[in-house]
Chain A
Amino acid sequence: MEDILDIMTSRKSIRRYNTDPVPDEMLDKILEAARWAPTGENYQPWRFVVVRNQETRNKIGDLAKVGSGSRMTAWYCLGHMQERFAGIKDPVKRAEVLRFMYSGEVSEFAKKAPVVIAVIGSLMEGSVDVPYDLSAAIENMLLMAHAMGLGGCWVHGPVATTRDAKKFKEILGIPTGMGEYKVIAYVSIGWAAEQRKYPRPKKNLEDLVYWEKFGQKERPRHG
């Protein structure tokens, strides 16, 4: 059995895809992986809307572009984006990256992803911890896709605001009542057409872990 840590540490968010279709059998395995995610009280609130239709994906891509672009344009105007990307020393490259971000093009890729899976959760009476359950399902989906050689990306942008979440639901025919279904994100799936830098920088474990009490960095000896 392959060490699952290898799968986890080699996964990257893929936003560029080639046009090859994703076979149904692979898609089924991704959805099956989601079904086995941990869930509070075994409630299994997740529901999935699988979208291959180009017109629908275009609508989702447009919504995501407006969502991300509207926020990032404002952040640029306030100077926040320039601070975030100050690490890019080449001014031409930095300007292009910033334009890519504040135009919203960064989030438009649903149009070119062969498959988009909307992840929604039932908020019916009795449901608990719905966003956490959905997040666990998404992680399973991304790991399963990566383990089979596919690329994927977890995208929150088009549903970030209450108004956009309603638009997203309308595109897919999901009931729009705030007490019915929560849409948390979509997951794009396809064959990668990009080679992302690997590994991406991660914080050191010693900067993240405390022992026995919050703030205590020294690992106690035991045994």
Chain B
Amino acid sequence: MDRNALLNQMLYRMEEVFWHELSDCAPWKTEYVGIDFIQAQDIKGKNEDEVIRACIERIKAAGLAENIDYAIGGNGILLKLQVRGCQLMLKETMLRKGGIKPYNCPIANMIRDQLIEKLGYETTYLADMAADEKTGHCALKVAIYATPEKIGAVSDWSKE
């Protein structure tokens, strides 16, 4: 049995029905998906670079993705993630075939969780998720707010 396919099929059905119930609110409700894994990894770091790198190392070691690159821009509130070889790409493919834009990334959820739990970040938000099943590449834009004052620090992310 292909356990990864089974996992993807089950997640797909859960996300499909969740989208059907909540439409664009669904991404807001699924931010805990994946956090149990990363919370068991004893991630350490004194700043966001250290925490993000530690998360990526554990995520790759667990085989959830082959490679993850990141960059921070947009007045310090834009975390860009480039994920390759994600083990959850199949569920995104199935969602898109069903007419639903992929909206929930457990890998991004893990990193968001640790920024909040380990560094006390005020809040985070998965703003955009572009999963390309043909290339196996997923580009994510995550808003990360270290303090409440960071909210409103706007810029043009298309230039990032």
Number of interface residues of A (CB under 8 A): 23
Residue in A78, A99, A162, A164 whose CB lies within 8 Å of B152:
A99
Q: How far is the CB of A64 from chain B (nearest CB, A)?
A: 12
Q: Is the CB of B31 within 8 A of A77?
A: no
Q: Is the CB of A70 within 8 A of B151?
A: yes
Beta-carbon contacts of B57-98 to A below 8 Å, as 1s and 0s?
000000000000000001001100000000000000000000
Judge whether A73 is part of the interface by a CB distance below 8 angstroms. Answer: yes
A162-B125 CB under 8 A given contacts A77-B78, A79-B158:
no
Chain B residues positioned under 8 Å from A78 (CB to CB): 127-128, 141, 157-158
Judge whether A104 is part of the interface by a CB distance below 8 angstroms. Answer: yes
Q: How far is the CB of B101 from chain A (nearest CB, A)?
A: 14
Q: Is the CB of A73 within 8 A of B151?
A: yes
Chain A residues positioned under 8 Å from B145 (CB to CB): 66, 70, 73
A76-B158 CB under 8 A given contacts A66-B123, A71-B125, A161-B29:
no
Q: Is the CB of A69 within 8 A of B154?
A: no
Judge whether B4 is part of the interface by a CB distance below 8 angstroms. Answer: no
Judge whether B153 is part of the interface by a CB distance below 8 angstroms. Answer: yes
Chain B residues positioned under 8 Å from A79 (CB to CB): 156, 158
Residue in A69, A99, A161 whose CB lies within 8 Å of B28:
A161
Chain A residues positioned under 8 Å from B32 (CB to CB): 162-163
Residue in B30, B31, B154 whose CB lies within 8 Å of A102:
B154
> Across the two chains, which residue of chain B brings its CB closest to A101?
B152
Q: How far is the CB of A169 from chain B (nearest CB, A)?
A: 15
B residues 118-160 in Cβ contact with A at 8 Å: 122-125, 127-128, 141, 143, 145, 148, 151-158
Q: Is the CB of B125 within 8 A of A74?
A: yes
Q: Is the CB of A77 within 8 A of B152?
A: no
Tell me the B residues contacting A by CB distance below 8 Å. Answer: 25, 28-32, 74, 77-78, 116, 122-125, 127-128, 141, 143, 145, 148, 151-158
Question: Given known contacts A69-B152, A163-B32, what 17 new A-B pairs fall within 8 Å (CB)?
Answer: A66-B148, A66-B151, A70-B123, A70-B125, A70-B143, A71-B125, A73-B145, A73-B154, A74-B143, A75-B127, A77-B143, A78-B141, A79-B156, A104-B151, A162-B29, A162-B30, A162-B31
Contacts A/B (CB < 8 Å), 28 sampled: A65-B148, A65-B151, A66-B123, A66-B148, A70-B123, A70-B124, A70-B125, A73-B143, A73-B153, A74-B127, A74-B141, A75-B127, A77-B74, A77-B127, A77-B143, A77-B154, A77-B156, A77-B157, A102-B152, A102-B154, A104-B151, A160-B25, A160-B28, A161-B28, A161-B31, A162-B28, A163-B31, A163-B123
Task: Name the 6 nearest CB pairs between A and B, nearest first.
Answer: A74-B127, A69-B151, A74-B143, A77-B157, A103-B152, A161-B28
